[in-house]
Structures are given as C-alpha cells and as structure tokens.
Amino acid sequence: MSDLAPVLDRIDEQLPQSLERLNALLRIESISTDSAYGAACREAADWLVETLGGMGFDAERHDTPGHPMVVAQGGEKQGDSPHLLFYGHYDVQPVDPLELWLSPPFDPQVEQTPDGPVIRARGAADDKGQLMTFVEACRAYVDVHGALPTRLTLFFEGEEESSSPSLVPFLESHREALKADLALVCDTGMWDADTPAITTMLRGMVTAEVTVDAADIDLHSGMYGGPAANPIRVLSHAIAALHDAEGRVTLTGFYDGVSPLDPSLLAQWEALEHDAAEFLGAVGLAEPAGERGFSALEQIWSRPTLEINGVWGGYTGEGFKTVLPAQAHAKISCRLVGEQDPARIGRALTAHFQQAMPSDCTATVTVHRGAGATVMPVDSPMFEKARIALSDEWPKPAVFAGCGGSIPVVGHFQDVLAMDSLLVGFGLDDDAIHSPNEKYSLRSFQKGIRSWARILCALAD
Amino acid sequence: MSDLAPVLDRIDEQLPQSLERLNALLRIESISTDSAYGAACREAADWLVETLGGMGFDAERHDTPGHPMVVAQGGEKQGDSPHLLFYGHYDVQPVDPLELWLSPPFDPQVEQTPDGPVIRARGAADDKGQLMTFVEACRAYVDVHGALPTRLTLFFEGEEESSSPSLVPFLESHREALKADLALVCDTGMWDADTPAITTMLRGMVTAEVTVDAADIDLHSGMYGGPAANPIRVLSHAIAALHDAEGRVTLTGFYDGVSPLDPSLLAQWEALEHDAAEFLGAVGLAEPAGERGFSALEQIWSRPTLEINGVWGGYTGEGFKTVLPAQAHAKISCRLVGEQDPARIGRALTAHFQQAMPSDCTATVTVHRGAGATVMPVDSPMFEKARIALSDEWPKPAVFAGCGGSIPVVGHFQDVLAMDSLLVGFGLDDDAIHSPNEKYSLRSFQKGIRSWARILCALAD
C-alpha cells in the first residue's frame, strides 16, 4: 500500500484537470443509434486513442461495420499480478426531448445542488464519466510512479446504446488482444451515496412473441358472437394460467436451475434494509405483488419472473367496433437467474400456449433470443480484495449486490473469452441516465477515480 | 284476394319500368357519412318526395340537423284495416376501396350471373333496392285499383349508415305523423334464396371499456419485474374469469331475463337444418365454441354473449421493449336477449372488474350505451297473415328468424312510438352490402315487390 498514498494525493490535486478532460469527451455528440452522429462517434474514439496514447498506452482505433472499437495496451505484469481488461462505452443515448434539458446536453456544466456539485451533460454518468474514473486513475499512477501497476488492456465500444451489433464478432476476432484474467466494468451504480457496490448477479432473459389465430378474418360479433372462437379470450385464459395464486410461474420446469440464495448473501442483503414501500411508492405502487415469500429485493436480484410486456388484438381505437378479431398477440419476457436455460424455457412457453388452445385456435410462439443469468465468483480473492479497497474509500463498507436487469457484455466476456467481470460503478439512482438532465456527482467522479486507484493497487499486489 | 291477381300481373308487366326507377335512385351518390355528399343526400330525399307525390302520396321533405327525412301519407283505412308505417333508408355506405369495384358503384348495371341476373351498384341491396320493392308494390296497387289498400305512412331516413343521429329527436317531434298500428321494415334478408324470413328477434347490446391502472409510469422489467403489479396480467385474469368452462358468462345476474326458447320456435329453427360446419367453415372455423348445449343458430339468435372486442397494453410495436406498462385496456360488448337489462349488466361488469383488482391496481369501467333485445309478437294475427302471404309467393314457406345483431330503429319504434315492426327483407348472404360490388338479385327485386303486394293485401283484409 506504500505506493498508493501519493497516487490518491495526485488524484485530488489534479481533479480540475481531470474534469477538463472529461468535459472534452462530453462535448463530443457521440449518439450511436442515429447515423447522423457517425462522425461524432469516430471523433470520440479518436479522442480516446489520442488521450491514451499520450499516457503511454499502445492505443488503436478498430473500425467495424458500425462504430469503432478502441483497444489500448499498457503496463507489465509484476510477478503474479493479473492482466486486467477494463471495459467502458463512449457512445451515449439520444437527447430527446431536448426542450426538457435545463442546459445544453453537450455543453457540460458543474452545477451546485443540495446533494453537492454535479456534472450535468448527456453521458456524464452513462458512461463517459464512469469510464474516465478508470482512465484518470491510470493517469495518476503513471504520473506518480512512471508506470501502471500491472498489465492493462483498455477496451471501449461505441455501440452499447444501440444493441452492440459489432461486439461479439469483435471479441471473437480479437481474443488474443482482449483475453485477460479479469474484466473490470464501470457501468453500474452505488447501493446508496455512501455505500459502494460490486454487482455480482445479473438476471438473464428470454423473450417471446405469441400470436393466437382463430378465424380467417375479423368477424362481426352480431353475426358470429357465440359460436365463433375469440382469440382475445383464448389468449387471456392462457396468460392467466401462467402464474398460480402464489405468484409462481406454472411453466413446466421453469424453476429448474434456480437455487435458494446462499444464507450469508441473503443476510448481507437483509442488512441493506431495502425499503420496498419507498421503492414502490416512488412509482405509485405500495405492495410487493410478485412471488409470495420473497422480499422485493430478493425478487428483483435473485428470483426469475415471467411478465407480459405487451398485448393487443381487435379494435383498439376511439369508439367501438363490435369485432371478433382473427388474431390476438402478446409479447412475453422472462428474467432468468441461476442456471435457468433460456432455450428450455422458450420451449416450455411454446408448449404452454399450444396446449392451451381450444379447437379452431392455433398459437404461434416465436422465441426471440435468450441469455442465461450471470453469477460472479464472490468468493474469489480478487473480489475480496476489490471489496476491501472500495470499503477503504467510502464511508460505508462495500456490498455485493444483485441487478434485476442484464448487462450483455458481461455474458459475452464469459462466453467468448471465459473471463469473469468485476462490476464496480459510482452512478446514483437519480442520475437520470437515458433521460433529460443526466448528471454525475462530482463526488462519484473524484472518489470513483480514487476507488479504481485503490482497486488497481490491491489487485496488483 | 280477388283484387291481388291483377296487381301481381301489373308488377310483372311493369318490371322494366320499376327497374328504371330503381336505377335513377341508385345513380344518386347519397353517402351519408361523408359531408361532401350532403347535396346528393338531399337530392335522393327530393327524388323520393317527387316520386311518391307522383303516385298520389302527400309527401314532404323534413330537414334535420343532419340529412333530411321523407314522410309520405297516403291511402285510407278500410273498416278495421290497420294503419301501416313503412321504413327504409335512402343513404348508402361509402364505396372505398373504389379500385375493387368491377363496374362504377353509382352506374347501376344488370349483370348475368350463374345464380341469375343481379343489379350491381352501391345501395342495390342496402337499402335502395329493398325500399323500392315496397314503393313499387304501392304503385302497382294504385295503378290497378286507383287507391292504396289501407292507410299508409312511408318514412325514409338518410342517416342509417351514419348512426341515425336525427332519428330519435325526429320520432319524438313527429309522433302524430308517424305513429301507426305496425311498422314494416325492409332492411333484412331471406333465410336462403328460396325461403323468405320474418325477423322476429333482434339481440340488444351493451358495450363497455375497461382500463386497469397500476404504476404511475411504465416500468423497466429489469428494475421492477417481480414486485411491481403488471396490469396486463391482472386484466387477463379478470377477462379469463368472465366465462366458466361451459362457456357461460359468470357475471352476477347475467342470465336474469333470459327465458328458454319456446319449443315450437325451437322446432321451427331446428327444421331449418342450419349447417354450423358450413357457416363456420366459410370463415376458417370448424366447431361451435360458445355456450355448451346450444346449437350455433340458437347461440346467435337467442343466447346472450359477452365478447372482448379489443385489448391493448404495453409495447405492441416491432421488436421488443421489456416494459411493465402502467395501464392495460379492453373493449367489451354483450349481446342481449329476452328481458336482459343493459344497465344492470353494465353494473355487473363494473363490479366484476373492480372486485378482480389486487392491491395497487384499480379498474375503471365506462359503460357506453345499451339497448335491450327486441322480440316481436309472432303470435299476433298480422304476423301470421304476413307469414302466409310470403309463403304464397316463394318456393318454400316463410320462417320466423332471429338476428344476432341489432336494428336500432326497431327499438326506437317500440320505445318512442309503442309500435312493433314486421321485418321482411329479400337480401341474400352474398349481396356484399358495405363492400365493393354490392348487388341485389333481380329475383329479390321482382318477388320482393310481389311479396309486399301480397302482404299489403293480406294485412288490409
């Protein structure tokens, strides 16, 4: 730890310069989903190449059919020190509705708020501010010690906000350059403003679309109402049968691969004292509605779900049309945990709907795509080192958290490169990512840089 | 019956002239729903006034906030002979898609088909051809005998295809002019090409729209999937609970006022040998799906239904959005029979959805409008006279038929004028009303005129 203290001092001292560099990146309008911003995405990639090159990295822009990748190699292994890959993304979400922004989205401002100063701009939290915490930690290390603490590969993509079409092909064709002992990913949040979190469980997902077909054409309910099968009724019955009275999913084999939560992890989550009433109250709800016997936090972080995300059929416009429709449709998604197999669950969904059909109705189920859940090895020494390093930086000890959603790159690192990910991020719940007036706390930025310096030091040790 | 034979001869003799007059009316583009055709609707009303005036009627155009009404008074009661009101509508449906018409919709043509000659034009069957069967029967009577057989009021509206907004106010403000002993309505069909029908049962209707509200905003299924209530699931459960396994509606009191069918009527319907497989097969279905224990024909003509006409909620576009929506919606309609009360059923529907809500969900049910079923007095002497008269004209005896849909004017005649309706029409299933290439069989036109002459003679007797 002897060489850490001057690095932390340097970080604090250089904060204005670090912020200037972040602002330069934030001014680049790198919206990946809109082809009008293709040049801006290239500019952001080039900015990273130049910045990292200036720090001594061997940095290169790799063009793809979409937006470029940036790969930078630097540092040397010290004895048994691990080779680490850092991942972030330089692209950002669109800014609509622009009229709701209180300052221009690509003109970063430091703003005083009751919770302290914040950096206000599109991408401030997702993910430019976060990725720069790592870059600035590297810079401080090099400034102080003349070298990085271990072998590092920095990897940035520019398509994270537009489904990452080039990511898997790029991983597959650059295994050698990208394979490391552990990936570090900075695209998640804190538990709360004082409690850092390492996200160790991500739910997987499988989605499907169901169409129930009855008559060849829409029918008039006066002429046919009674003897003609109504696909909306049939679909509603089949949907209603997907859950039992306890909120459990009734699909055959749905819970295969779902294990009870490790008691020590459960105890840690319980200690977080998650306030379900406050969590639900913020969106106008009051009572956890899901699977009986599990807290809201357990449900979101560790239990699988089956939800209907869309339903439609018949006449849905103004006024009334007494139609018996020919078809009815639903979009369904399952969030997966543990060892649940997306393909098997897709097959069980298909069987459920097909078996629920009365005569004269057929169900077509298109299972779109799937990814299993991700569980990180919390008992590995590197995770424990990172947890202690984070706990040293922040007022409260770091927690191992779950995440109800998915971060696809983490699964791809496992599948393509057989590499686990350490997910550490400094975002806060009110950062308004993907929304107008996105911000990143200046404290997150400063202590985020310091956190990565500590983690790098601990992992290299 | 002594004075009938020369009338029938006159009808056959004058068929070419009758057809010429029908064609003149068919050439008027009286599309009521499109304000661009307002002048054409007035022209059709004026044409009727002039035509009926020329036959000796005291005919008048009555302007309304919408399209004009035509009322024509003629004839004298002979002893106990009834005062009869004939109703028809001179307006027609729009003609889109125009490119599917094989000849111009307002240029009537007589066309030879494998089933005999047909008159091809918009309104040929609905309702200009049908209303002219009655007008031409009157003309033949006057031509032969110099007078109508009894007191007649002819009443034509020009808004039937656009929800008849002026109808009830007009009935209310013209009770004296319109009140008669029986209404004759020519806007229905034959049982088949050889079997005339008197429609004596019309189902009523009540419609409602349901909205289930959960969270204040759409939620991300990664962040909230599990503890957050999903209104699509809640709505699907509530819809699924509306019917039992026998296809019966479970709403409290739904079947109050539904009586078993009179055995003699049931026997008559069974004698029709309705082919459910053929009826359903025409639209791609095979098996009657509704209430167990009732034939398809019984279901449509004599049983109430509850159908979902539309359902929507969440993401329904291309691709996928893993949203938990804030709301889900359904449109529901019930077809009513017997003495079912639309208002009570609306209240039962509201209660059903409200009681089906778990915590965090509310149901708002808007009951739109309702009309009870209509049942005509089939055992009254006038219905029996009409049945015999029709049976004399056609190859097969006339049947008392039901109708799964509603003909609102019939309810209004009962409610406002306390007047029953004799529904006789000569349309065929393949007339393509409301569709391109509408037609009316020339046989329907000729034998329709003859049928009305017979009915008038029988009723006046």
List the single residue in A233, A309, A315 with the smallest CB-CB distance to B331.
Answer: A315
List the single residue in A215, A303, A368 with the smallest CB-CB distance to B320.
Answer: A368
Calpha distance A127→A160 (Å, rounded): 10
CB within 8 Å: A309 and B221: yes
Average pLDDT, rounded, for chain A: 95
Nearest C-alpha neighbor of A187 from the set A420, A418, A441, A410: A410
User: Which listed CATH number (3.40.50.1220, 3.30.470.20, 3.20.20.70, 3.40.630.10) goes with A5-202+375-460?
Assistant: 3.40.630.10
Q: Which chain B residues contact residue A237 at CB under 8 A?
A: 236, 240
Largest Cα separation within chain A, whole Å, is 86
| The predicted structure's pLDDT at residue A56 | 97
Q: What average pLDDT does range B55-78 have in this prediction? A: 97
CB within 8 Å: A359 and B287: yes
CB within 8 Å: B283 and A219: yes
Looking from the CA of B18 toward its CB, the CA atoms found within 13 Å total: 30
Q: Which chain B residues contact residue A287 at CB under 8 A?
A: 359-360
Name the residue ranges covered by the structural domains of chain B.
Answer: 4-202+374-460, 204-258+304-371
If you measure CA to CA, which chain B residue comes closest to A224? B300
Calpha distance A362→A239 (Å, rounded): 15
Number of H helices, E strands in chain A: 15, 18
Grade residue A220 by pLDDT with cuts at 50, 70 and 90.
confident
Q: Which chain A residues contact residue B280 at CB under 8 A?
A: 227-228, 360
Chains A, B: CB contacts within 8 A come to 269
Asked if B31 and B94 touch (Cβ cutoff 8 Å), the reply is yes
CB within 8 Å: B324 and A309: yes
Calpha distance B196→B451 (Å, rounded): 9
| The predicted structure's pLDDT at residue A1 | 42
CATH of domain B4-202+374-460: 3.40.630.10
pTM comes to 0.86
Question: Which of A203, A205, A211, A221 should we substitute to test contact with B (largest number of B Cβ atoms within 10 Å)?
Answer: A221
Q: How far is B281 from chain A (nearest CA, A)?
A: 9
Burial of A85 (0-12, 13-18, 19+ CB in 10 A): buried
Q: Is the ipTM of this complex over 0.95?
A: no
Calpha distance B270→B288 (Å, rounded): 16
Q: What average pLDDT does range A81-97 have in this prediction? A: 95
Question: Which of B221, B287, B301 should we substitute to test contact with A (largest number of A Cβ atoms within 10 Å)?
Answer: B221
DSSP per position, B425-441:
--B-TTS-TTSTT-EEE
List the single residue in A220, A296, A405 with the smallest CB-CB distance to B220.
Answer: A405
Q: What is the architecture, at CATH level 2, of domain A204-258+304-371? A: 2-Layer Sandwich (3.30)
Q: How far is B178 from chain A (nearest CA, A)?
A: 29
CB within 8 Å: B311 and A405: no
Quote the percentage of chain B above a pLDDT of 70.
99
Grade residue B1 by pLDDT with cuts at 50, 70 and 90.
very low
Q: Quick: pLDDT tens for B312-335.
A: 999 998 877 888 999 999 999 999
Q: Quick: pLDDT tens for A118-143.
A: 999 999 999 999 999 999 999 999 99
Looking at the predicted structure, is the pLDDT value of residue B90 above 60? yes
Non-local (6+) Cβ contacts of B7 within 8 A are B137, B140, B141, B144, B145, B453, B457
> Residue A383 to residues A83, A267, A332, A377, B149: CA-CA distances in angstroms?
15, 18, 35, 7, 103
Beta strands at B323-324 and B399-403: parallel, antiparallel or unpaired: unpaired
Q: Which chain A residues contact residue B223 at CB under 8 A?
A: 300, 404-405
| The predicted structure's pLDDT at residue A96 | 86
CB within 8 Å: A311 and B232: yes
What is the Cα gyration radius of chain B? 25
Q: Give, for A57, the enclosing helix (H) or strand (E).
A: none
A 10 A CB-CB count for A326 gives 18
Burial of B393 (0-12, 13-18, 19+ CB in 10 A): middle
Structure tokens at A96: 């609509």
Question: Which of A244, A320, A367 should we substitute to test contact with B (largest number of B Cβ atoms within 10 Å)?
Answer: A320
Q: Which chain B residues contact residue A321 at CB under 8 A?
A: 309-310
Structure tokens at A192: 């709360």
CB within 8 Å: A311 and B288: no
Beta strands at B197-202 and B399-403: parallel, antiparallel or unpaired: parallel
Q: Which chain A residues contact residue B335 at CB under 8 A?
A: 221-222, 225-226
Grade residue B119 by pLDDT with cuts at 50, 70 and 90.
very high
Asked if A382 and A373 touch (Cβ cutoff 8 Å), the reply is no
List the single residue in A216, A276, A333 with the smallest CB-CB distance to B227.
Answer: A276
CB within 8 Å: B233 and A227: no
Non-local (6+) Cβ contacts of A38 within 8 A are A67
Helix axes B442-460, B128-145, angle to 10 degrees: 50
Grade residue A378 by pLDDT with cuts at 50, 70 and 90.
confident
CB within 8 Å: B310 and A323: yes
Looking from the CA of B326 toward its CB, the CA atoms found within 13 Å total: 6
CB within 8 Å: B309 and A320: yes
Grade residue B227 by pLDDT with cuts at 50, 70 and 90.
very high
Beta strands at B327-336 and B204-213: parallel, antiparallel or unpaired: antiparallel
SS3 B326: coil
Q: How far is A105 from chain B (nearest CA, A)?
A: 24
